[in-house]
Amino acid sequence: MSTHTSPLAGKPATDGKLVDLGALTAAYVDLRPDPSVPEQRVVFGTSGHRGSSFERSFNEWHVLAVVQAICDYRRQVGVTGPVYVGIDTHALSQPAFESTLEVLAANGVETFVSTDGEYTPTPAVSHAILAHNRGLETGQADGIVITPSHNPPDSGGIKYNPPHGGPADTDATSWIARRANELIEGGLREVRRMPFAQAMKASTTHAFDFLQRYVGDLGDALDLEIVRANGVRMGVDPLGGAGVHYWSAIGERYGLHLTVVSETVDKTFAFMSLDWDGKVRMDPSSAYAMQRLIGLKDRFDVAFACDTDHDRHGVVAPSMGLLPANHYLATAAWYLFQNRPGWRPDAAVGKTAVSTGLIDRVAAHLGRPLREVPVGFKYFVSGLFDGSLGFGCEESAGASFLAKDGSPWSTDKDGIVAALLAGEMTARIGRDPGEIYREITGKLGDPANARIDAPASHAQKQKLSRLDPAQVTSRTLAGDPVVGVINQADGQPIGGIKVMSAQAWFAARPSGTEDIYKVYGESFRGQAHLELVLKEAQQMVDASLA
C-alpha cells in the first residue's frame, strides 16, 4: 500500500481532463441507479450521500428519494418548522437543488432558499438554523445542504442537518438512507413531486438572505475589530466555492484589509491545480491543490482558502507557506482557549482519533479536558450545541468553535471562521500562525506526521472498517512498547484501527467520502521514526486486505 503521486500533481487543471458538464448533467437525469448494486445505493458517509452521475451513484432518483425520505423522517420525529436549503457551486448541485425543491414543495414543507440564487456555504446554513431555533420549543427548523464538499467536479452530494444545526447522527442518516433505498426500489411511486417552476412559486417557498445573516453576525464569533485596528493584510481564495461573494461582504462590513484573489466560478474548476492523484479536487489543505495561493504568500500577513462548500480551510503563512492542517488546528486550539474568557472553564478540546497528538498535549498543558471522537463532525455537535466543547476539529482541515460568549455559532464545520481566526491571532499576538506553531512545538514537542491515501474498492473498504484490535499481535510500534490498540473513540467505532505508543501512533481507516483508504501516522521522535511507524502500518493493512 502506498500513495502513488501523479506526475500531474500541482500542475494546472487544464493539463488534465476537464469534466464534460453537458454529459454530466444529462447523466443526472438519464441514468437511473440499480439498487441491487451496492455502489449505486444511497449511502450516507461521514457527511451525507455523495457520488457521480456518470457512475449512477448521484442521480435524480437518488436526490428525489433522499428528500422524500427526509420529509418522512421529519414527520416521524416531529420537526415542524421550515427547512433551510443551501447549495454549492458544483455542476450537479443546481439540478439536485431543483429536485430537492420539487419534493419539498409537493410535501407542503416550508422552505427557505437563498435570495437571488446566491450560493450558500455549509456554515451559513448551520448558523441560520441555530438562529431560527434560539428560544423555540416548537416549530424548530432544520436544513439540507447540496454539496459533495471538496470532491472533484463530477461529484454531487446532499446532507441533512437536524434542528441542532450540525450533521445528522448515524441513527438519522441510517433511517433516511434505508427509506430512500426503499423508495428507489419501489420505482419512486411514493415520492411526491411537482414541477420546479411551480415549486419556486409555491406559497411554502421563501427567499432568505443567508449572506447578510451570516456576515452580520460574524462579530459574535471573532474579534474582527482587532484585525481591523491592526491593519492585518489578508488574502483569500474562495476556490470558486459557495462563499465566493461572502468575503468581499465581510471585508466591507468590518473594514478589513481583505483581498479576494478571485471571484471566478467555473464549474469545471479549470483554475485549480491538480491534486496528488492528478484529479481536480478543491481541497484547501492540499499543497498540490493550493498552488495559486501559496504563490501569493509574501503579499499578505496571512492568507487562506476554503473548499467548495466552505466547511474546510487552508491557511498560508509567510513563515511556513501552507500550514499542514494538523499544525494549524493545534495552533487554533492553543490560541482559542487562552483568548475566549466567555467560554465555560470546563469547555473541552475536541479532536478526531486521527488528528495530531499535539492537540492532546495542548489540552493537557492548558488544563482542558480532551474529547477524542471517531472521524465525522457529527460527533462534536452536541458539545458545540451545549457549550461543553469549545473547539472541535478534524485532521482534514474541518473545525468550528463557540461564539465568544460561549453560545453555539455553527455546529457544522466552518471554514470561514477558522480561516479568519488566523487573522485574529496574527493581530493579537503579532506573529503569523506558523511562528506561533513553532513556539508551541518548542514547549510541547514537534511531531512528524503523514497521511497516505490509496485507491480501495468497496469490498476492501468494508474489510478495513471491520479490523479488530485482536488482529494486532505486535507488542511494539517502531521499537516502542504499544500502550493501546483501539477501534473505538468516545464509545463509537472509528471505522478502522489505531495503534499507539507513548511517542507515536498510526491509524488505518477507509474514506467515508471517496474510493480510497487512508493510513495516518505520527511520531514525536522525528521523521525517520515516523517512516518506521508507517512501514509497520503498511504491513498490517496489506495483510488485512490480502
pLDDT tens digits along 308-325:
999 999 999 999 999 999
Interval 340-366: pLDDT, tens: 999 999 999 999 999 999 999 999 999
Close Cβ partners of 46 (under 8 Å, ≥ 6 residues apart): 375, 376, 377, 378, 512, 513
Query: What is the rounded CA–CA span in Å between residue 156 and residue 90?
Result: 7
With beta carbons less than 8 A apart as the criterion, state whether 246 and 416 touch: yes
Percent of the chain with pLDDT over 70: 99
- Specify the 3-state DSSP secondary structure of 15: helix
Rounded average pLDDT over 96-113? 98
Specify the residue for cell string 423522517. 73
DSSP state of 116: G
Provide mean pLDDT across the span 14-23: 96
d(CA 504, CA 449): 9
What predicted TM-score, i.e. pTM, was given to this entire model? Answer: 0.95
Tens-place pLDDT, residues 132-187: 999 999 999 999 999 999 999 999 999 999 999 999 999 999 999 999 999 999 99
Catalytic residue among 126, 149, 286, 523: 149
Q: Work out the pLDDT band at 115, boundaries 50, 70, 90.
A: very high
Which cell goes with 468?
A: 479488530
Structure letter (DSSP) for residue 385:
H
Mean pLDDT of all residues in 512-518: 76
Q: Give the tens place of pLDDT for each residue, 208-246.
A: 999 999 999 999 999 999 999 999 999 999 999 999 999
Question: Is the per-residue pLDDT at 19 higher than 60?
Answer: yes
Mean pLDDT across the chain:
95
User: Rounded mean pLDDT of 53-75?
Assistant: 98
Per-residue pLDDT band for 513 (boundaries 50, 70, 90) equals low
* pLDDT at residue 268 greater than cutoff 90: yes
Which ranges in 107-201 belong to alpha helices (H)?
122-133, 170-185, 196-200
Q: Strand order in 348-352's β-sheet?
A: 370-373, 348-352, 389-394, 398-401
What does the pLDDT look like over 37-53, one tens digit per residue?
Answer: 999 999 998 779 999 99
CA atoms in the 13 A half-sphere facing the CB of 466: 7
Task: Give the integer Cα–Cα distance in Å for 294 and 402.
Answer: 29
Confidence (pLDDT) at 1: 43
Distances (CA, A) of 364 to 198, 337, 370, 434: 57, 12, 8, 21
Question: Which residue matches cell numbers 452580520?
Answer: 216
- Asked if 284 contacts 311 with a C-beta cutoff of 8 angstroms, the reply is no
Q: Which residues, 6+ apart, have CB-to-CB distance to 449 below 8 Å?
A: 324, 326, 356, 520, 521, 522, 523, 530
Whether 388 is catalytic? no
**pLDDT for residue 58 is more than 70:** yes
